[in-house]
Amino acid sequence: MSLGVSPVPVVPPTVVVGDDGLARCSWGANDAEYRRYHDEEWGVPVHDEQRLFEKLCLEGFQAGLSWITILRKRPAFRAAFSDFDTEKVAAMGEPDIERLLQNAGIIRHRGKIQATIGNARATLALGESLSELMWGFAPDAAGRRRPQSWSDVPAVTAESTAMSKELRRRGYRFVGPTTMYALMQSTGMVDDHIAGCFRAA
C-alpha cells in the first residue's frame, strides 16, 4: 500500500575509502584492475606518441562498452595490433582484418578494427606530432575547478568537441566528442579526480 511518500533518492558516493585506507573516486574503489588503473594511470599526463595512439584506439573500441572490458583485454589488443606501432598497424590489410575478427581476445567489431588501421594511416599522414596536435586542445588547468561530485564532471566540453572535429577533418574515425573527453581524462589533459580522492591532492 502506498503511503504517498516519495522515496529518498540514493546518491552513490563520489569517494570511497578502501581497505588500504586510501580515499578514491568511487569508480576506482572496488575492482582490482580499476583500482590499479585509477591509482597509476587515469589523469596522468601522456605525451608518448605510441601510448597516445593506443589510448585513441582503445577509447574508440570502448564506445558502447564498459572501460573495464577494455582494460582486461588490453594485453590482447597490444598483441593483436603490434603494441600500437603506427607503421605496423597502418600496413595491415584485409587478411589482417579477417584474422582479427576471429580473435576472441579483443573486441571483434569490423568497423572499429578498420578505424584503428585507418587512424594509424591518418597519424602517419599528419606531418606533425600526434602529441602536439592532441595536447593543443587541452584546457588551461589553471582555470579549472576541482570537481566536487560526479555532477561536476562533464561528458563533453568545447575542447573535446574541437578535438573531435579536427581529428575527423584529418581522417580519424570513432573520435566523437564524448570519446575525446574520455581520452582527455585518461591521458591527463584534464584531471577529474574528485575532491577528497587521494589522487586529487
Q: How many CA atoms lie less than 13 Å away from 85 in the CB half-sphere?
A: 8
For the stretch 19-24, contacts whose Cβ atoms lie closer than 8 Å and that sit 24 or more positions apart, written own/partner, are 22/198, 23/196, 23/197, 23/198, 24/197, 24/198, 24/199
> Do the Cβ atoms of 58 and 51 come closer than 8 Å?
no
Active site residue 87: no
Q: Specify whether the CB–CB gap between 135 and 47 falls below 8 A.
A: yes
Of the residues 49, 67, 150, 166, only one is catalytic, namely: 67
Catalytic-residue membership of 27: no
Q: Which residue has the cell 597502418?
A: 90
- Catalytic member of 27, 34, 37, 181: 37
The active-site residue out of 27, 34, 54, 59 is 59
Instruction: Tell me the β-bridge partners of 25.
Output: 15
Whether 67 is catalytic? yes
Question: What positions carry a catalytic annotation?
Answer: 37, 59, 67
